[in-house]
Amino acid sequence: MDERAERAPIGILEAAPDGTVTAVNETAGALLDIDRSAAGQSIEALFPESVDNTVPGAFEGAVSEQLRVEEYYPALESWFEATIVPGGETVTVYLEDITGQKRDEQSRRALESDLNRLTIINGLISDILAELVGASSREEIARTVSTRLGETDIYEFAWIGERELGGEDIVVRAAAGSTGRTLDQIEESLDGEKTPPEQRVVETGEPTIIQPLGEDASVPENVRRAAFADGLQSLLAIPLTYGSSVHGVVGIYAADRDAFSERERASFETLGEMAGFAVNAARNRNLLLSDSIVELTIELRDTEAPLCDAAAGKEATLNVDGVVPQGEDPLLCYLVVEDSSPEAVADALDDHDRVVSTRVIGDHGETGSIEVGLNEETPLGHLASHGVTIADAEFASGRGRVVTELSPEEDVRRIATALTRRYDAEVVAKRERDRSIRTAQAFRDDLSERLTGRQESALRTAFFADYFESPRGSTAEEVGEALDITGPTLLHHLRAGQRKLLSEFFESTSDRRS
């Protein structure tokens, strides 16, 4: 081997036509991890094994023409491009390490595959969300989600589980796809000592990926056996959540060993939140459309509850004038304060770690109103996060009385049990009553009676003059000029009329108490 070949940046081996190696340059020795003094041995002995063993195999017959191959050598964890060039009494083998190039190609193909898969999944989720918008019941929501996921080519089957009415157990609400024996074993294990991952997801509210299924000891053995028989290797379980409330779980099973990536998990978390939102909306819709409602009266004696403690500490009476649920954000609670300074009550509430914010709205000495942001670790926050309507509440002398409204289809027992387990609370009354039906005309008549003539004229004129549009079609001065009043006078009438309109619409608790 001449000096240029010795110093070449690629590996070079020279061999006789029968495969006996006659020379090895420095680069080839480093690539193959062999001693250069190994010349004289057969090329089969010097070359590491590969799947096809192309290079040693080429010397089994007469090397008559040039041959180029790319092969992976597991022992070296490397890819080589080998070019075999015959030349009379000497056959030259050129070696180039292409491991980096191959890994880049694999990474690129894997990324393209992931992106294609995510595109399919995101399109699927988008279609599901579009269908959820029109879903009118919890059964329809469960059927939509399970059918669309279970009947795709990338997953084997999907099922939806929800809490059983009146209890804590999980029941199968809907399922679709090739469920095989696995779903039967999942249902059986729901009542067993060792629960399936989906039930734990409902309890914790945290999504989970299990792959491979057969090697995870947290999965009941009967489910693992059935999954193995059905050719299932991966599970993604996503909770159906709204705020801190977990309405159910979707379990998605796939045949691939590593079917679910963290990106897919993130995409499906969005689906779980939207499905949970849809379930919560269906519950609220049932309450609005129901001819009757269940009214629960709850007595709170929990001295650690912020409103009970503040009422006792400041010897005040706190009446809840209205609440505004905000999903995962704090529950906004508007309080009418009696027999104490609103500022003092707000300061007392600020000391509680379960109070997110306080703001004095009106302070009239020994009475007024404040806004309080309560987190979900408070009784009212807990009730609101479970979709319960808080109709009325009063706190005085360290005790509270809360009146809630639920649809008759709701799991009243479970909600009440969950509250009394966490707080010093007791359901003191439960009754089902018919909902009074109020027509739109009756609403307009009642509102018209409450508005003065000036207020109604101001609202009507401003409405038709596009004062409430964005951008406005008319200014306050222009509307006032049409009514022959000043702009500030118009705004006074508009604010008074709007307050009466909103009060009539929201049926404030102060009106209910009076």
- Mean pLDDT throughout 326-340? 81
Whichever domain contains 83, its CATH number is 3.30.450.20
Cβ(282)–Cβ(136) below 8 Å: yes
Q: What are phi and psi of 282, to 5 degrees?
A: -65, -40
pLDDT for 33 equals 86
One domain for residues 22 and 132: no
One domain for residues 445 and 332: no
Between 248 and 465, whose confidence is greater? 248
One domain for residues 155 and 224: yes
One domain for residues 87 and 231: no
Residue 8 neighbours by CB under 8 Å, 6+ apart: 25, 27
Cβ(338)–Cβ(316) below 8 Å: yes
One domain for residues 281 and 337: no
Torsion of CA 504, 509, 510, 511, to 10 degrees: 40
Cβ(280)–Cβ(137) below 8 Å: no
**How many domains is the chain built from?**
4
Residue 9 neighbours by CB under 8 Å, 6+ apart: 27
User: What is this structure's pTM?
Assistant: 0.51
Distance CA 161, CA 149 (A): 14
Query: Which residues are registered as beta bridge partners of 401?
Result: 299, 394
One domain for residues 90 and 114: no
One domain for residues 330 and 400: yes
Q: Is 166 left (phi over 0), alpha (psi -120 to 50) or beta?
A: left
Residues 469-493 pLDDT 10s: 888 888 899 888 878 889 889 999 9
One domain for residues 317 and 397: yes
The upper half-sphere exposure of residue 60, i.e. CA atoms within 13 Å in the direction of its Cβ, equals 7
One domain for residues 134 and 280: yes
One domain for residues 302 and 398: yes
Token digits of residue 426: 């007791």
- Domain boundary residue among 288, 317, 335? 288
- Mean pLDDT throughout 302-319? 88
Of 371, 370, 292, the C-alpha closest to 326 is 371
Tell me: pLDDT of 284 over 70: no
- The domain of 355 spans 292-434
Distance CA 506, CA 456 (A): 19
- Domain boundary residue among 401, 434, 467? 434
Residues 412-443 pLDDT 10s: 777 787 788 888 888 888 887 765 555 556 66
Cβ(157)–Cβ(150) below 8 Å: yes
81: pLDDT confidence band, cut at 50, 70 and 90? very high
Tell me: pLDDT of 510 over 50: no
Tell me: pLDDT of 158 over 70: yes
Whichever domain contains 458, its CATH number is 1.10.10
Of 136, 106, 495, 389, the C-alpha closest to 281 is 136
Of 324, 318, 356, the C-alpha closest to 336 is 318
One domain for residues 265 and 342: no
One domain for residues 155 and 266: yes
- Domain boundary residue among 288, 305, 327? 288
